[in-house]
Amino acid sequence: MPELPEVETTLSGIAPHLTNKTITQVVIRQPKLRWPILANLAEILTGQRIHAMMRRAKYILFSCDSGTLIMHLGMSGRVRLLTSNTPPGKHDHLDLSVDGYLLRYTDPRRFGSFLWTEEPPDQHPLLMHIGPEPLSDELNGEYLWKQSRKRKIPVKAFIMNSHVVAGVGNIYANEALYLANIRPTRAAYRITRQQYDKLSITIKTVLKQAIAKGGTTLKDFLSSAGLPGYFQTVLNVYGREGELCFQCKTKLKSVFITKRASVYCPRCQK
């Protein structure tokens, strides 16, 4: 599923080809996504210039003349750029054309969304309450420590809450906690200030590393061969239940925290 690094890579892949272009056509084949696509969205967008594109959490924002298009890829959403209008497949729900390119959105599970707002996007109900960007200076040990006082939920659920920090998904939460030597089940309020200092750093580390890896797949956004090949960073724990910790050779354990697989080293993570 697209996590923050994949969304960032998607943005890097498509933004240079869409920025400062005028939208010539929008085709909506399936408006029933997570929220229904606005009935007149195609009409609204056609003729508008995209003057900037940015990411906020796992949302991609298209800043247009009279408002902002807000895209989320959900669980299974992908976009790619086509240079010719090839026949759409079963799950190709939306096309957005500019001069020379067609952005095609594919999403089998339809958990993604396309929203439109004419207000500043940071005032949109979905973006207004989202926590700081994990790669910004706003995410630091002091912030996490303060936010976690009196909160009894497992630290892993805490850092995956988008109202606490934006865009930390399951894979990277597992990996960051491993590198910070913190057990994912530990109650958020019991983590020390020093541990949060370390955790804020390891969150940035794992995300930056994945984004760097993603850079190598940029060309795929323009490939006729298909969808971008997503990437895996060096994973220390995620998907390695029962295998040995690279550090101490102890067998990795797995528990479920709010329905999500959480793998950790019982020796390295306390």
Partner DNA sequence: AAATTCTCCTGAAGGC
Partner DNA sequence: TGCCTTCAGGAGAATT
| Residue 146 sits in the site that holds DNA (CB under 7 A) | no
| Residue 163 sits in the site that holds DNA (CB under 7 A) | yes
Structure tokens at 195: 């541990």
The C-alpha torsion from 12 through 13 and 15 to 16, rounded to 10°, is 100
| Residue 117 sits in the site that holds DNA (CB under 7 A) | no
Concerning whether 3 is annotated as a catalytic residue, the answer is yes
How many C-beta neighbours within 10 Å does residue 253 have?
18
Listed in sequence order, the DSSP H helices in 192-257 are 193-214
Distance CA 97, CA 46 (A): 9
| Residue 259 sits in the site that holds DNA (CB under 7 A) | yes
Distance CA 90, CA 210 (A): 30
Site for DNA in 187-226 (CB under 7 A): 188
Cβ–Cβ < 8 Å for 141, 200: yes
Exposure string over 136-172, b if 16+ CB within 10 A, otherwise e: eeebebebbbebbeebeebbbbbbbbeebbbbbbbbb
Q: What's the distance, CA 134 to chain centroid?
A: 11
| Residue 115 sits in the site that holds DNA (CB under 7 A) | no
Considering CB under 7 A, how many residues would be counted as binding DNA? 34
Among residues 268, 240, 256, 267, the alpha carbon closest in space to that of 185 is found at 256
* For DNA, the closer CB: 45 or 165: 165
| Residue 128 sits in the site that holds DNA (CB under 7 A) | no
Task: Give the interface segment with DNA, choosing from 97-105, 145-153, 205-213, 246-254 (CB under 7 A).
Answer: 145-153
**At its nearest, how many Å lie between DNA and the CB of residue 64?**
21
Task: Name the residue type at position 41.
Answer: L
Concerning whether 243 is annotated as a catalytic residue, the answer is no
* For DNA, the closer CB: 47 or 239: 239
| Residue 152 sits in the site that holds DNA (CB under 7 A) | yes
| Residue 167 sits in the site that holds DNA (CB under 7 A) | yes
| Residue 135 sits in the site that holds DNA (CB under 7 A) | no
Structure tokens at 79: 């976009």
| Residue 249 sits in the site that holds DNA (CB under 7 A) | no
Among residues 148, 214, 134, the alpha carbon closest in space to that of 187 is found at 148
| Residue 70 sits in the site that holds DNA (CB under 7 A) | no
Concerning whether 58 is annotated as a catalytic residue, the answer is yes
State the catalytic residues: 2-3, 58, 260
User: Using CB under 7 A as the criterion, which residues of the chain lie in contact with DNA when the complex forms?
Assistant: 1, 3, 32, 34, 57-58, 72, 74-76, 90-91, 108-111, 125-126, 130, 150-153, 157, 162-163, 167, 169-170, 188, 258-261
